[in-house]
Structure 1
Amino acid sequence: MTDLQCAARLFVARHGAADYESELLSDAGGWLSPLGRQQSRELGDRLRGERIARVWTSDLSRAVQTGEIVAARLGTDVTVRTGLREFGVGDAAGTTGDPDPFAETFAAWLGGDLSARIPGGESGVEVVERYRAVLEEVADAHRGESVLVVSHGGVMCMVLPLLARNLAPDHTRDLPLPNGGLVALEADADGWVARSWAGHQLS
């Protein structure tokens, strides 16, 4: 981030509940279920008092649809960034996901080993770098403003605790993010601070 004169406030949300063409793992975007659309409308209503200047979203369709519903409700625009997408499934594509092919790598990431890599996919370092780059772009573009960032549960639970100086890397072990769940972040010249996580206020 460049030197921020005024803190940017970012609300980072997990997309609404989604349906998928296949039950097998893939990086396909899916689409919002009726429940997901309702969650997105409710998310927009929760943010009405925050003066959201813009909605930024992952390029996966379930996130884009969430962002578009919220933006329509708030009367603002949507910007799409690939760097906000979920971590890729790698070599697990086309499998059932049982047992969880990401458990070992994700546990390593939460334990601080960012060199760990999803087989055929990204390392923790790569995930953090591309996600951080977008959040810094958003913060630089919206000094003194509030914005919504729509992303994905896995990458949010892995990256945001590493960026926020007041969170432990394994913060999300006991605080998973539901669909539509929000994390409030503030960015200033000293970095990132988390103000709330899925309804839990933070100091």
Structure 2
Amino acid sequence: MSDLHCAATLLIARHGDAEYGHSSVLTDEGGWLSEKGIAQAESLAASLATRRIARVHTSSLARAVESGAVAARVLGVDTRVVPGLEEFSVGALAGRPHDDPELASVVKAWMHGDLGRFIPGGETGEEVIARYREALLSIADQFRGETVLVFSHGGVMSFVLPRITGTVRDDPTAGRFLPNCAVAEVSVDGDGFTMRSWPGSSDRAVV
């Protein structure tokens, strides 16, 4: 990496409120922004007007891409898709209820450090962390000394960010659910990742 000790600031946001073709079951569908989600992305971008955002980056899933496009238009900057920022896949469990016990068991195992467990047809915890970390590093390497807005997803953010910022012991995401278009601020320099803020809510209804 260049300029290792010049930190990049990543404002990592959950996408705006979205709708899905099969909203009552687990799915890997990209979805699309609702009118509420569009308004949320516009409001977030307006609130960041003074932060001199250099670019907007998004996962490849449609709800994040659309959020990025809305925000980039308000901010007057470019937007780019970065592979690796996607939500973890539900794999072969697609079509099951959201409270599926098999998925819950795997996620619980990940949270307790058993990162080798995998979702059938999906990824291990190790794989999720590795690809997400590399995606963030690729962004930070291009924007040393600058601030970028990154649209991603609540589940993967809550799982990965504490594990790459060294805050698992006092996990700031535990019991604090991530609202749509809420921003976690992370700085990246030669010493690694530092989480500056986590905007979670104790109200699970925000998810």
TM-score interval for Structure 1 and Structure 2 normalised by the shorter chain: over 0.9
Q: State the match for 2:83 in structure 1.
A: 82
- Residue type of the partner of 2:61? L
Q: State the match for 1:16 in structure 2.
A: 16
Work out the CA distance in 1 between the residues paired with 2:129 and 2:170.
12
Distance 1:105 1:193, change over 3 A: same
Describe the SS at the equivalent of 2:173.
Answer: helix
Work out the CA distance in 2 between the residues paired with 1:100 and 1:37.
33
Normalising by structure 2, report the TM-score: 0.91
Runs of 4+ aligned residues of structure 1 deviating over 4 Å after TM superposition are: none
Work out the CA distance in 1 between the residues paired with 2:106 and 2:96.
17
Farther-moved stretch of structure 1 (139-148 vs 19-28): 19-28
- Residue type of the partner of 1:57? T
- Residue type of the partner of 2:14? R
Q: Is 1:41 the equivalent of 2:42?
A: yes
Could you tell me which runs of 5 or more consecutive residues in structure 2 were left unpaired when the two chains were aligned: 202-207
Counterparts in 2 of 1:27-38, with a 5 A limit?
27-38=28-39
Deviations, residues 51-107 of structure 1 (Å, cap 9, x unaligned): 110111001000000001111111101110221010001111122334354211111
Shift of 1:21: 1.0
- Residue type of the partner of 2:64? A
Could you tell me which runs of 5 or more consecutive residues in structure 1 were left unpaired when the two chains were aligned: none
Work out the CA distance in 2 between the residues paired with 1:123 and 1:62.
24
Deviations, residues 138-186 of structure 1 (Å, cap 9, x unaligned): 1100000000110000000000000113453743222111111110001
- Residue type of the partner of 1:66? S
Describe the SS at the equivalent of 2:88.
Answer: coil
Describe the SS at the equivalent of 1:62.
Answer: helix
Normalising by structure 1, report the TM-score: 0.92
Distance 1:173 1:199, change over 3 A: closer
- Residue type of the partner of 2:111? L
Contact in 2 for aligned 1:111/1:169 (Cα 8 Å)? no
Work out the CA distance in 2 between the residues paired with 1:143 and 1:29.
30
Contact in 2 for aligned 1:111/1:170 (Cα 8 Å)? no
Work out the CA distance in 1 between the residues paired with 2:200 and 2:96.
34
Q: State the match for 1:93 in structure 2.
A: 94
Shift of 1:5: 3.2
Corresponding pairs, count: 200
Q: Over the residues paired in the alignment, what is the CA RMSD in angstroms?
A: 1.7
